[in-house]
Amino acid sequence: MGDSGKVSTDGELWLRVMDGDGSAFASLFLRHRDRVFVHCLRLVKTSFEAEDATAMVFLEAWRCRSRIRLVNDSMLGWLLITATNVARNKVRSTLRYERLIRKLPQPQEVPDHSDWVVETVDEDRRSQCLQQAYRSLGRRDQEIIALCVLEDMSTAEVSALLGIPTGTVKSRLSRAKQRLAQLMNPQDRFQPEPVPLSPEEEMP
């Protein structure tokens, strides 16, 4: 909506949004909607909730419009971080935007999540375990995995986006992956101290 000719960058569109250009805001929504939606699906239970969360992410963008951080002229990273926060603080976000969100069309019927889980687990049990493990992670772990792994952003981009050194990005990612692996394999969580070898066992 609203664009003709050459494709505007996120930065150009956002400047227009700041000037009150609603069509530029709609263009940004359409550009990033699916990536934000897919990320929200990882964090909430139903696609309906993920759609609401996606809408709230863009409303947050408007509320925080003077503080949006664009990396390489893209606002996707900021949107994904905000999506993590919105999904984790769903109650507060919903309260803040309840009056706006309730005007959106309601689903014909709310899908029964348990049916969906059963189907999907049959389809891909390991993927479901991973999904659940991901939801159990802390905010910072979810954030770093979303940016570095799921969205394939470079260490430098994530560093610029989060305002932390590249070394910190790498160590945070490494720890997040470890925690994810532990959640996927809970039996590995509490490993006993390795028993020192007896002198005989040490002999070749």
Partner 1 sequence: MNKNPGSQHFNPERSAAIEALLVSVAQDGTPENQHFQNTKGKKILLAGVAVALVATGGAALTQLPVTDKSSILCFARAELNGHQFPGTTVTLLAGARPGEPKPDNPVPIEDALAACRDIWAQHVLDPNAPSGGADPKLFDSNFSYPVPDPLTVCVLDDGRAAVIPGDEKVCGSLGLALKTDTVR
Q: Return residues touching partner 1 (CB under 8 A).
A: 1, 17, 20-26, 29-30, 33-34, 37-38, 41-42, 47-48, 50-51, 54-55, 58-59, 62-64, 85, 88-89, 92, 96, 99-100, 103-105, 107, 116, 120, 124, 127, 130-131, 134, 139, 145, 149-150
Q: Which is nearer to partner 1, 102 or 189 (CB)?
A: 102
Q: Which is nearer to partner 1, 100 or 156 (CB)?
A: 100
Instruction: Output the smallest distance, CB 3 to partner 1, in A.
Output: 13
Instruction: Output the smallest distance, CB 130 to partner 1, in A.
Output: 5
Instruction: Output the smallest distance, CB 133 to partner 1, in A.
Output: 9
Within 8 A by CB and 6+ apart from 48, the residues are: 107, 110, 111
Q: Alpha-carbon dihedral of residues 107, 113, 116, 118, nearest 10 degrees?
A: -170
The CA angle 180-127-116, to the nearest 5 degrees, is 125
Task: State how far the Cα of 78 lies from the Cα of 156, in Å rounded to an integer.
Answer: 15
Instruction: Tell me the residue length of the chain.
Output: 204
Q: Which is nearer to partner 1, 139 or 189 (CB)?
A: 139
In the block, which residue shows the tokens 């049916």? 115
